Structure 1
Amino acid sequence: MASAPIVADYDVMMTSLARLFEVRHVLTHELPTGTVFDSKELSDLIDATSTFVEATDWSVIDVLRGSVPQTQSGMNIVAGEDLRREEEELEAILRKVAALPRIDGDALQELQAAWADFANRHAGLLASQVEGGSMYPLLWAGEKASLVRDRITQLKGILDGWWDR
């Protein structure tokens, strides 16, 4: 489902922004003695400014990071996909560590199972702050991905420091 556009009516927003700059110019440079704008305009000027700033923020984010989700469900999906990619890398590194000469495969497997249990429980603890809420999957996956990246670093350390290669 597509999100509603941030700017519902571009022409209305731009007309309000043009009026805002006009008012600003008069207030700043012409030192008026009378009223420059009708107070009834204020709400429209503020709304147009807020809409413009929000749209600009998302445009900058798009340039810097590419398209990112703007809904909670979209963020949850992306966080899950990021976690899956991290876990795939972890599995690849684990296979390399398991292939090291004289590595105790059973000990490695037992250690990894304990680490996975720890990581799942730790992510659950952190995400429990929003238990039952729509942010739970985002927080859980984000924390688990962080732990997976740490574990990858640990396993790469084993690979790099293994004596018998």
Structure 2
Amino acid sequence: MKSATGSSGQSLVEHVLAVRARGGVGSVAGSFWGPNERFWQLNNSLHRLGCGADPELYRHFPIAAVAALEGHFKLSVAAIVDSGRGYAERGLRLAKERFRNSPELIPEIHDRSITIGELVAHWLPFSQLSHYESTFDTLLDLGFKMATATAVDPSYARGGSGVSDPIVSDVSRLWRHVAEAFEMRHILAHEAASSYEITFEMARSAVESCAMLCDATEAVIWSTAWSDVPLTQLEMNASEKRQVDDARQRLATVMRSARTDLLGTAQYAWLTRNHFAWRSVTRDFVDWGASKAVGHSMFPLLVYSGQKVALVRRADEIESLMHYMRP
């Protein structure tokens, strides 16, 4: 059974997948680039208009700013819930009634068409600032507004370069401006409001405050839910290196087991020769794949990533081969 989401006739799953495709899912330097790119576009467009444009044009910006904030909200909620470690349970509590009434979605989750986090994010209300705040209160198990008051740029914080100024200098002021943006959005989206005028300053406040709330939200998430997730290039390199070491140890174990099983047979010598040849070819291939990044900070990450994939596949292949060859 399909759950219609509106006049388009799309099922809920189709709707979520369409939102995912339009939204620019992905992150750069710890930020969700889709919504953040949208704020960059809005800010540039507004400043190209300047303060002397047709007032009608300014009416677009509060609606677009809150829409971008909602997109960021949904991506953040989905990512946190899908990260596990207790966050999935909190997310399920937020949307438990909707899950209880939608058993037809279980196969879609099982098939990984959509995630639990995407469903939770889709179902959560988002018509006022309190919905935003209470969601992160519950998901992160903290006072979200208070946490934003001390949130700093996560890349700077991870770099250990000393004390950094908070992203938000005045939380009460930010909350007031974002609440005003929600109110403007509601009026402009649901009323004719022909005598309601939006000025350049009002439009700029909506865009800048919503963008700042996104920045502060990301900083809070990186200091809580993702405190142990690699963020800086150095952290990513070190994490990938640890995974390479683990994959190499597993392959060594698999090879020892295979050689023990093949000891005294012709296949023993063949596997030994083959493995030395594989090591040489793989080393050349991985180095070639990362060659364009030589001299850049990402070079070690690309090398480690290639090594990890090769090591994991090799171990899987040897295990599969030995399963076939053992009596």
What are the Cα deviations for residues 82-112 of structure 1, in whole angstroms up to 9, with x where unaligned? 1111111111101101111434544433322
- Corresponding residue for residue 87 of structure 1: 248
Partner Cα distance (1:156, 1:74) in 2? 32
- Corresponding residue for residue 8 of structure 1: 167
Partner Cα distance (2:271, 2:316) in 1? 15
- Corresponding residue for residue 282 of structure 2: 119
Scaled by the length of structure 2, what TM-score is found? 0.43
Secondary structure of the residue that 1:157 maps to in structure 2?
helix
Whether 1:138 aligns to 2:301 is yes
- Structure 2 counterpart of 1:89, one-letter code: R
Partner Cα distance (1:44, 1:124) in 2? 49
Q: 1:45 to 1:116 in 2, by over 3 A?
A: farther
Identity %: 18
Q: 1:118 to 1:33 in 2, by over 3 A?
A: same
- Structure 2 counterpart of 1:160, one-letter code: H
- Corresponding residue for residue 20 of structure 1: 181
Runs of at least 5 residues in structure 1 that lack an aligned partner in the other structure:
none
**Aligned 8 A contact 1:94 1:155 in 2:** yes
The one of 38, 48, 57 aligned to 2:209: 48
- What count of residue pairs does the alignment treat as equivalent? 161
**Aligned 8 A contact 1:97 1:158 in 2:** no
Partner Cα distance (1:115, 1:133) in 2? 27
Q: 1:74 to 1:36 in 2, by over 3 A?
A: farther
Partner Cα distance (1:43, 1:132) in 2? 41
Tell me: higher relative CO, structure 1 or 2? Use CA pairs within 8 A at least 6 residues apart.
Answer: 1
Compare 17-26 and 37-46 and name the one that shifted more: 37-46
Whether 1:156 aligns to 2:319 is yes
- Structure 2 counterpart of 1:112, one-letter code: H
Compare 89-98 and 105-114 and name the one that shifted more: 105-114
What are the Cα deviations for residues 36-84 of structure 1, in whole angstroms up to 9, with x where unaligned? 4431344443233334445359849x86x88422212211111111111
**Aligned 8 A contact 1:13 1:52 in 2:** yes
Partner Cα distance (1:69, 1:36) in 2? 46
**Aligned 8 A contact 1:75 1:138 in 2:** yes
Runs of at least 5 residues in structure 2 that lack an aligned partner in the other structure:
1-155
4+ runs deviating over 6 angstroms: none
Partner Cα distance (2:188, 2:227) in 1? 39
Q: 1:48 to 1:117 in 2, by over 3 A?
A: farther
What are the Cα deviations for residues 94-141 of structure 1, in whole angstroms up to 9, with x where unaligned? 110111143454443332222122222211111112221111111111
Scaled by the length of structure 1, what TM-score is found? 0.78
Q: CA RMSD in A?
A: 3.1
Partner Cα distance (2:247, 2:220) in 1? 26
Q: 1:3 to 1:42 in 2, by over 3 A?
A: farther
